[in-house]
Structure 1
Amino acid sequence: MTILSLIAKNKPGEGQKYAHLEQLFKTAIRDGVLLPGEKLPPLRTAAWEAKCSLGTMSRVYSSLERKGLVNARVGQGTFVQEAANIGADVILPNPLQSNYVPPLKNDTIIDLGLNAIANDWGEEIIRWALQRTSTKASSFNLMTYRDGFGDNQQKRALRVFLPETLQGISEDRMLINHGAQNGVYTALGRLASPGDTICQEPLSYPGVSAAISQLGLSSLTVETDAMGICPVSFEQHCKKGRVRILVTTATGHNPTCITTPIARRKEIGLIAQKYDVLIIEDDIYGFLYPDAPPPYAEIFPEQAIYLSGLAKRISPSLRIGFTVAPPHLTMLMAQGITAQTWMVSPILTNAAMEIAGRTEDLTSFTRQTTIAAGKRHDLTNRILAPYITNYASCQSHAWIELSETTSTSQLVRRAAKAGVHILDGSRFANNTTAGKHNIRLSIMTPDTIQQLERGLIKLSTVLSNPNESSCDFF
């Protein structure tokens, strides 16, 4: 059987052709109908066989490429990715892959791609918390089963990690999960059904699209501007289709750095109320923005789901996250957690509770991190000012605008040769046009500000000579 015969046998109906076709190609790759290195049919041929528009099939191919399943080669066509290159890097790119370009002169790579937040105290406090858990936690806490809804004592202890305006919520509005990504997946899986449409920003953290695809849901993108989601565009989508959920990062948006002001949040929330659309807000960077407007879950408590976690605040290894939502929704999500993993790891939960008890240290740690973010933000602007957009709200990362004549993929490779790992903006794209002339920098990843400065200076040289080889400069 070929992919064309598979399409002919499983033609999409009149509904969501894009989602159906994408799943068909993914299944064909998984089952070996399409083999590693095999060339996909030309777009026109595939569209004709599927009885869909060329634009729909083009969107399918672009989505498969963003997910790392295929590789488009200029002038040659689109090919199934080799098996060794299909993996977790669909979401989290791996700079050590075989197709990665090593830096010149054996320099150590300066990683501005992985979106982590370096700190000097994360490892120490995790070791301390695990040791305390091993010696102080009761047998009842460590050696028993619980359901996904969690324990009220744990929730009360961990509320310290929520924004101050949400710390007074009742326990039935809070849920502990395995990190913000797990919260996104659980919320989408339990609160949306096949046929529902998920509304996203044109650019977002790739984990959201991965969850939508894994769950077989449909998605569309809403227009954005310098203040975030455009209310007119959002309402138009709500009027047209079965929009069930809007997913957004309203504070410190990844990758664009936009923080949506309070007036705009109220506009979006009122539209969501009018059309009964749930808002899922990922606030993983919120602790870096103490002056940000309140989250949707505070302004519209019956319409919004708040998600956060400790991956950025303390360490990616501490897979503990938090959900705030109306009680009936936290109960549904608790059922999802029980179905997936039965419960959140008691060891990690107890370790997080130990850390939560160090309130003075947490305040000090957060202040240190925000001060460091401010210094790195100023340094980045000083070196790369002509290229940065949304400078005023940049904290954990930076969004770089390139000219339309600059090849983003080639720039990424030239930066790699110079010893700097950066990410192509198209990795964050939820449609075919977003992020084509951008790169994202994770300015909090290097261990020291001196390492960041070296990387930014190298990148500045590459950016100022976009059509030259970095070999000429390093």
Structure 2
Amino acid sequence: MTNWLPDLTAGSGPLYQRLADSIESDIDRGVIDAGAKLPPQRDLAYDIGTTVGTVGRAYQLLRERGLVSGEVGRGTYVLAQQSEAVKPEFLEPGTQGTRYVDAPPGKLRFDSTAAPDIGQGAIVADVLSRTVQDHPHEISSYVREFPGHWFEAGARWLSRNSFRPTADAIVPTLGTHAAVMAAIAALTTPGDYVAFEHLTYSQISRSAGLIGRRTALVASDEEGIDPQDFERVCAQKHPKMMFLMPTAQNPTLVTLSAARREAIARVAREYNVVLIEDDLYGDLTDDPTPLLAEYAPERTIVAGGLSKSVAAGVRGGWLSCPPAYRHRIRVAHKMMTGGMPFLLAEVNARLVLSGHASEIRKRCIVEINARIAIVREMLAGFDFKAQDNVPFVWLTLPDPWLSGTFKNACLEHGVLIDDEDEFKAGRSEQVFHGVRFGVSQPRHSKDVAGGVAVIRRLLDEGRAGYDSFS
């Protein structure tokens, strides 16, 4: 270690934290080997021009992260790290899921949860036509100023239970995905950790990886996110943010209890973690549990939109965020998306403020529940989770089925579903033996019944009903 010095030019924050981050990076890259002795605190302080106390705080932070050990009189040594196979929480997500970029033609789409077609196209067409007639000049130009009713629409749409955001907390966005990514881009920097559950809407973690953020995985159980493991990850990796879906979690359908939400809020506050609460499916439910934002309003960003309950093609989305974050997120959203198109933003606001969006949502829920009833009847006796109002099912596979094999078998029989790998936020060694399928995209209920019949037949026949070499 005689020729080694940390690089303190990157990153942000206090010097001790940048020093700890630099040492951790060099350990990860193999510049500093396991078993190596770090320079004495006094020597390193002299070399980089700081105090012994600053170096001591950095070394203590490394000990908290489980990277080094130190004994008085012996010095500080780098610990041997676990192999990648047993520390999945520190691994990067892939940039590609398990779905086809272009879906094979002629297959039944059970791999989407967009709002069902209940005739909302006619309503959208009318609103669209009126918008074009009323605002020809705005449509021909870029949006420079957001009218007040765009914020009012977001505040109304994101309100649920006793959560009532004000218009000055709202950021209109191009859908919920863009909303979440704008928040991550605005409030974290490359190299920062963002925490996720092992199974979640993994396209966020993949997208975050594309802009240089790292993934830390937090364990869950049958009741959802484990607050104790969240605290462990916070102590070891110091994530800046956590993405979670507290109500009707995708894909497991778990809804966090009030006690767990309160515990997560406490940990986030203790470790200064910003929480992103995706309420896209929660908006469909009648669950009375207070939103996570009510337990930690100063650090929780709520994301929602129209894709699951009104129409995915209109790209309607909004964020509700603490006032200190709003401007930065608006700027980040513009830089990452090119800005809000007037036509879509105005149509979405009109759909919400006119009451059309709420009426469409009610009709979508009726259709979703009719389809979920088909699933419950046809898959009776098998282990699956389904919830009223929510357009997907989490199916636990019986022996000897593997998730990927079952997905391929369904594909061969004309049905597209998602295996568990589609929802893994990082390289996880956990095996869930589950698949998710949606019921909202087939045009008719009879198509839903036909797809579920394929799934039922494969479950009944077992592996004997599928030959991957055929």
TM range (shorter): 0.7 to 0.9
Quickly say closer, same or farther: Cα 1:466–1:246, change in 2 above 3 A: same
1: distance between equivalents of 2:204 and 2:363? Answer: 30
2: distance between equivalents of 1:110 and 1:233? Answer: 39
Q: Match for residue 84 of structure 2?
A: 55
Q: Match for residue 405 of structure 1?
A: 400
Instruction: Say which SS state the counterpart of residue 194 (structure 1) adopts.
Output: coil
Alpha-carbon offset, residue 320 of structure 1? 2.2
Q: Which amino acid aligns with 1:117?
A: A
Q: Match for residue 309 of structure 2?
A: 313
Establish whether residue 297 from structure 1 lines up as the match of residue 293 from structure 2: yes
Gaps of 5+ in 1: 1-11, 22-50, 69-89, 103-107
Instruction: Say which SS state the counterpart of residue 323 (structure 1) adopts.
Output: strand
- 8 Å CA contact retained: 1:308, 1:322: yes
2: distance between equivalents of 1:57 and 1:273? Answer: 29
Q: Which amino acid aligns with 2:214?
A: S
* Residues 337-346 or 219-228, more deviating: 337-346
Q: Match for residue 35 of structure 1?
A: none
1: distance between equivalents of 2:138 and 2:240? Answer: 40
Alpha-carbon offset, residue 125 of structure 1? 2.0
Instruction: Name the count of aligned residue pairs.
Output: 398
Q: Which amino acid aligns with 1:119?
A: D
Identity %: 20
Give 1:303-382 correspondences, 5 Å limit.
Answer: 303-359=299-355, 361-382=356-377
Instruction: Say which SS state the counterpart of residue 407 (structure 2) adopts.
Output: helix
Establish whether residue 133 from structure 1 lines up as the match of residue 121 from structure 2: no
Q: Which amino acid aligns with 2:439?
A: I
Q: Match for residue 145 of structure 1?
A: 143
RMSD: 3.1
Report which of the two structures shows the higher radius of gyration computed on alpha carbons: 2
Give 1:90-129 correspondences, 5 Å limit.
Answer: 90=97, 93-94=100-101, 96-97=103-104, 108-129=106-127
- 8 Å CA contact retained: 2:407, 2:419: yes
2: distance between equivalents of 1:17 and 1:374? Answer: 53
Give the alignment's TM-score, normalised by structure 1.
0.76
Alpha-carbon offset, residue 453 of structure 1? 1.0
Q: Match for residue 442 of structure 1?
A: 438
- 8 Å CA contact retained: 1:400, 1:438: yes
Q: Match for residue 418 of structure 1?
A: 413
Q: Match for residue 16 of structure 2?
A: none
Establish whether residue 252 from structure 1 lines up as the match of residue 248 from structure 2: yes
Q: Which amino acid aligns with 1:15?
A: E
Give 1:218-237 correspondences, 5 Å limit.
Answer: 218-237=214-233
Quickly say closer, same or farther: Cα 1:166–1:145, change in 2 above 3 A: farther
2:391 to 396, 411, 416: 396
2: distance between equivalents of 1:378 and 1:357? Answer: 32
Gaps of 5+ in 2: 1-20, 31-79
Quickly say closer, same or farther: Cα 1:116–1:208, change in 2 above 3 A: same
2: distance between equivalents of 1:95 and 1:434? Answer: 29
Q: Which amino acid aligns with 1:406?
A: W
- 8 Å CA contact retained: 2:117, 2:441: no
1: distance between equivalents of 2:388 and 2:254? Answer: 6
Instruction: Say which SS state the counterpart of residue 309 (structure 2) adopts.
Output: coil
* Residues 157-166 or 120-129, more deviating: 157-166
Give the alignment's TM-score, normalised by structure 2.
0.76
> 1:134-191 CA deviation, whole Å, 9 max, x = no partner?
11236357645326xx332321134332224577433221100111111111111110
2: distance between equivalents of 1:233 and 1:313? Answer: 33
